[in-house]
């Protein structure tokens, strides 16, 4: 069983809460793209948190955590963390995504916890 946490721009959160569409995340046009500066900042923060760039493909840039079984995909619209059922890794992705919201530009979405993180 995997555990997933996503990070989006705050505008995506506001749009999703307004639309209340169960298929909201399936439509790319609903997701506010990151700016070039935001993408660069996210890349730099991932490296600071011990994530190593693994590869790039048509989906985006893939990262792996240096020690934990965590994979990350950074796309132009979202930052997607995924891990197995390991409690330490689940805690890590939850905390990391929460910490990335500190600027107010981003919002954490945790489907296993019922949606958007309340701040």
Indicate whether 1 pLDDT > 80. Answer: no
Question: Are 31 and 78 spatial neighbours (Cβ–Cβ below 8 Å)?
Answer: yes
pLDDT tens profile 21-36: 889 999 999 999 999 9
The model's pLDDT over 48-95, given as tens digits with 9 standing for 90+, comes to 999 999 999 999 999 999 889 999 999 999 999 999 878 999 999 999
Q: CA 65 to CA 86: how far, in whole Å?
A: 13
What is the rounded distance in angstroms from the CA atom of residue 8 to the CA atom of residue 18? 15
CATH level 3 topology of 3-116 = TATA-Binding Protein (3.30.310)
pLDDT, residue 118, reads 87
Query: Would the pTM count as exceeding 0.85?
Result: yes
- 3-state DSSP assignment of residue 77: coil
Q: Is 44 left (phi over 0), alpha (psi -120 to 50) or beta?
A: alpha
CB 59 within 8 A of CB 73: yes
Q: What pLDDT does 28 receive? A: 93
pLDDT of residue 23: 93
Q: What is the CA radius of gyration of the chain?
A: 14
């Amino acid at each position: 069983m995997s555990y997933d946490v996503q990070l989006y721009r705050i505008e995506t959160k506001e749009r999703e809460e307004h639309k209340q569409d169960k298929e909201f995340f399936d439509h790319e046009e609903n997701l506010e793209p990151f700016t070039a500066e935001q993408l660069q900042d996210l890349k730099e923060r991932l490296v600071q948190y011990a994530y190593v760039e693994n590869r790039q493909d048509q989906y985006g840039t893939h990262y792996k955590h240096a020690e934990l079984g965590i994979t990350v995909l950074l796309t132009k619209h979202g930052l997607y963390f995924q891990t197995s059922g390991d409690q330490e890794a689940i805690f890590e992705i939850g905390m990391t995504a929460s910490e990335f919201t500190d600027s107010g530009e981003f919002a954490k979405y945790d489907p296993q916890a019922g949606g958007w993180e309340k701040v």
